[in-house]
Structure 1
């Protein structure tokens, strides 16, 4: 690894170091670095526990337990300067132990982690936000044999890499990351490089496994839920069309939401529904967190006038831990219970008509303001 010296138009080599000579420890340092910045492993991960020991009849502890964006558990095992020869077997044991964990247990594990580390929030809500779903009832965590393994070390023994490559033939998702500390003077650097599978081929390899798993896991229950969603949204659109032309060109789908444009890019007049709620909302996601928060804050400054025009209070969710924002009117209901539909749909469509009336003109004025501005990306935004 080299440092570019623009003044001299040259490169200067950095010195490869070892963790041991620098005095770094596996648990105290490497594990904490990854826990605080899991995206160094090349994707968005949610760390839900450190030193997890919740296995029956064993005192073993896995280093880090995480969720990926598909709701799969990720077992992360860290070693410093050498993997040792048994790390693959160790990680596979942990993956087998975790295979039986259900959504409720995973939420409990994460809630325990939040409590221990002094972090605010409710585990189920934070996981739903991370997965970008309205409610955890919409997904199944740790489905089937979807557990993933990530091995991290400065050097990998041949018996480890050979075993990992063999396991990949059976569609087990195992990744190896080589971590190397470097120095130049008093400055220290860390390089994290995925070596198995080679990064350029990872999507292809994992894609084949995911496709096979998705085909196996497709169930009649999921198909039935999709049928209900499509029918529900068809009824919402039908009733909405008797009150407004906003949804004249919108089709029913199988997601937990449908949306219509507001005239401002990235700001939608959306309906959302699940097993616990039905709502009408303004959903703000223009692609950049700073821009979304600005739009929300400008509307929030007009809250009194907007709620007066709407005819009641609204729930204002800036969602600082996410990229998007929302302003909503919600009722408790279950879209999968047909008895709830008349009351639920009447509430949602009535709220949407009033939301559109209250917000249409303010959004048009705000649109001109936003288009004249340049927004800098916010530090620490998670991009979701």
Structure 2
């Protein structure tokens, strides 16, 4: 690694070090750095436990347990200057132990971690925030294969060879090489993903996935994403027979669909979960203060709006968040229960048409001002 001196127009070599020379320790230093900034591993992760030992009939501890943005459990093994020869075997054991963890197990593990760290926070809420959902029922955890990330300054040949073989057989494994440098008493840390090679990662994953394509396609029919697409397809057919509001909207794997209102940052949304169905006007024009002023302007017409709509609405200013919403709910229904679909579709389509008609003149007058 080199430092470029702009004035002298030259590259200055930085002093490459070992963790041992710098007196850095695996648990006290490298593990803590990862906990506080998972960008070291090249992706956004939520660390839910360290030195995890919650395995029956064994005293073994994995270094870090995390969750990725797809809800997969990630087993992280940290080594310092040498990976050791047994790191792959250890990681595979831990992955097998973690494969049986349920959604509730994972939430409880994370809550214990927060409590141990002295965090006055709730695991359920933080998990919802991490995945960007409102309802914990929408959080999907450990439904896919577990992942392994190994990090060390140097990897032995038997480790890299085994990791490549596992990757070829669709085991999600990653090796991160980490190197410390010193410059005038400052320590710099360089990280490099060596397996899979970053530029070839997508290609290698595609090759591995192709071998299981038929099995994956069969399993997908039972996934939540497929169920949602089927629901939205049926609902949009009904909606488009009654209104042009969602005419150009396609079915989605997400639990929401939206369309524009004709004004920037104001969208009409359908939302469905395992517990409810909802229509709403979502207000988010980018600036929090502007959103709250706009919400207050609409709320000033509350009585007129609810009289025209024919029922009370849920007015959510959401002071702690950037956006605000005006919503109408149908409780105790589930998008994952097809027997509820007709009732949900009737509720969503009928009330969205009425809701948009009610809001149209109000929004027009407010936006003019």
Looking at structure 2, the residues matched to 282 and 119 of structure 1 have their Cα atoms a distance apart, in angstroms, of 35
Change (3 A) 1:281 1:25: farther
Change (3 A) 1:159 1:249: closer
Contact conserved, 1:277 with 1:330, CA < 8 A, in 2? no
Partner residue of 1:288? Answer: none
Count matched residues: 350
Looking at structure 1, the residues matched to 354 and 210 of structure 2 have their Cα atoms a distance apart, in angstroms, of 41
3-state SS of 1:56 partner: coil
Deviations 1:231-258 (A, max 9, x none): 234445556x3xxx64354455553211
What root-mean-square deviation, in Å, do the aligned CA atoms of Structure 1 and Structure 2 show? 3.0
Partner residue of 2:290? Answer: 298
Change (3 A) 1:102 1:354: farther
3-state SS of 2:154 partner: coil
3-state SS of 2:90 partner: helix
- Give matches, 1:171-190, under 5 Å: 171-190=170-189
Partner residue of 1:247? Answer: 246
Q: Does 1:27 find its partner at 2:24? A: no
Partner residue of 1:200? Answer: 199
Q: CA deviation at 1:179?
A: 0.7
Deviations 1:175-221 (A, max 9, x none): 11111111111211111111111111112212334455565242443
Partner residue of 1:124? Answer: 124
Change (3 A) 1:351 1:264: closer
Q: TM-score, normalised by structure 1?
A: 0.80
Deviations 1:319-362 (A, max 9, x none): 76xxx745242523424424742456555555555555555565
Looking at structure 2, the residues matched to 54 and 117 of structure 1 have their Cα atoms a distance apart, in angstroms, of 17
Looking at structure 1, the residues matched to 43 and 367 of structure 2 have their Cα atoms a distance apart, in angstroms, of 34
- Give matches, 1:258-269, under 5 Å: 258-264=257-263, 267-269=266-268
Partner residue of 2:161? Answer: 162
Unpaired stretches in structure 2, ≥5 consecutive residues:
306-312
Partner residue of 1:279? Answer: 278
Partner residue of 1:110? Answer: 110
Q: TM-score, normalised by structure 2?
A: 0.83
Unpaired stretches in structure 1, ≥5 consecutive residues:
286-290, 366-384
Higher radius of gyration, 1 or 2:
2
3-state SS of 2:190 partner: strand
